Amino acid sequence: MSTPWLKNFCGFRTTDFEMMQMPHPNIEFGIHVTIRSTQIGAIVGSLVGPASAFLLQGKTDHKSLTNAFVDGGLRGAFWGVVFGPIWTFLQVRNMNNIQLYDKCYRMRFNKSQLFHDRACILSGTVGALTNGQLGFVVGLDLAAALSTILGKTWL
């Protein structure tokens, strides 16, 4: 990870020479994979949590289902953070340095992936700061849906 990577990730303009500077592509790739796995974990957990509370425990009241939504989303996000580096390691060990550099270089120019990752971090952070755990889970879920839809229309 480097300053040009951070500038590009935050949306600041970088030169082609700066984009080519990649001292630690495995860390850069790991950050991307961990962001995605956290987001996928939160989505799956927020769907499975209320479904299991309803089907297995017979809970039908709004508060119980909301708590199951938040708990499932947080647990899913936690497991996404845990498995992101593991998944990265499993993918990186089958790549040589040139393939890893190429993958990271292409990710730096992929506006759709950058938009998706930025939306995930921004909405999760804003949600957590405004509404705590519920805001974090809702923020991650909305970021996935909206960045997929808007990313195709805007970018």
pLDDT of residue 41: 94
Residue type, 23: P
CA distances from 114 to 17, 20, 61, 151 (A): 19, 17, 39, 10
Q: Is residue 33 part of a domain?
A: yes
Domain encompassing residue 58 = 3-110
Longest dimension (CA), the chain: 59
39 is a domain residue: yes
The mean pLDDT of the chain is 88
In a domain, 64, yes or no: yes
In this predicted structure, the answer to whether residue 86 has a pLDDT above a threshold of 90 is yes
The pLDDT value recorded for residue 1 is: 57
Q: Is 139 domain-assigned?
A: no
pLDDT at 155 over 80: no
Q: What percent of the chain has pLDDT over 70?
A: 97
Number of structural domains the chain divides into: 1
Report the distance separating Cα 41 and Cα 73, nearest Å. 7
